[in-house]
Amino acid sequence: MPSSPQRPAPAPSDLSGAVAEDLALYREKFRRRLPESLDELQGPTKGIVDLPLHIAWSGMTSYDMSKPRQRMGLYRTVLHEGLLDDLPRYLNQDLLLQLWPVLRTLVGRTVRAVWEDAFPQLASRTRAAA
């Protein structure tokens, strides 16, 4: 049986460069969505919130803000999937600051880093809660 030519595996330095570039692009995706200030976040704090399908494309689309787990789920979903215009509409500054010490453990590492780098008051809330 003839052997087929195989390409050599990428060198570790090539692979780490590609991974670093992918991570930088992923981080930039979230950075571009950030509001200028947390003051812009004037979303609801009570009632039922219905998310559009471009945000809640899988799973729940309606969240009851009086239920802590649903409120946390809404924030997690919006932080990951929401676009620039969605963040002020669905997130509330006071609620985000209140939820952040726990919420930061539920979002991805990149989302957490981008938000804490942009808004030091989030990181300081975490240290104060510890």
Q: Determine which helix (DSSP H) or strand (DSSP E) holds 48, and give its type and residue range.
A: strand 48-50
pTM: 0.79
Is 106 part of a structural domain of the chain?
yes
Is 28 part of a structural domain of the chain?
no
Asked if the model's pLDDT at residue 44 lies above 70, the reply is yes
Residue appearing with tokens 């090539």:
14
Is 50 part of a structural domain of the chain?
yes
Of 130, 104, 92, 119, nearest in space to 37 by CA: 119
Is 66 part of a structural domain of the chain?
yes
**Mean pLDDT calculated for residue range 77-95:** 96
User: To the nearest 10°, the Cα dihedral for 109, 114, 120, 121?
Assistant: -70
Is 20 part of a structural domain of the chain?
no
Q: Please report which confidence band the pLDDT of residue 4 belongs to, taking 50, 70 and 90 as the band edges.
A: very low
Q: What total number of domains does the chain contain?
A: 1
Q: With contact defined as beta carbons under 8 Å apart, do 125 and 97 qualify? A: yes
**Mean pLDDT calculated for residue range 67-95:** 97
List, for residues 109-120, the tens digit of each pLDDT value.
999 999 999 999
Asked if the model's pLDDT at residue 25 lies above 80, the reply is no
List, for residues 7-19, the tens digit of each pLDDT value.
444 444 455 777 7
What are residue 2's phi and psi, to 5 degrees?
Answer: -70, 145
Q: What's the domain range around 62?
A: 41-129
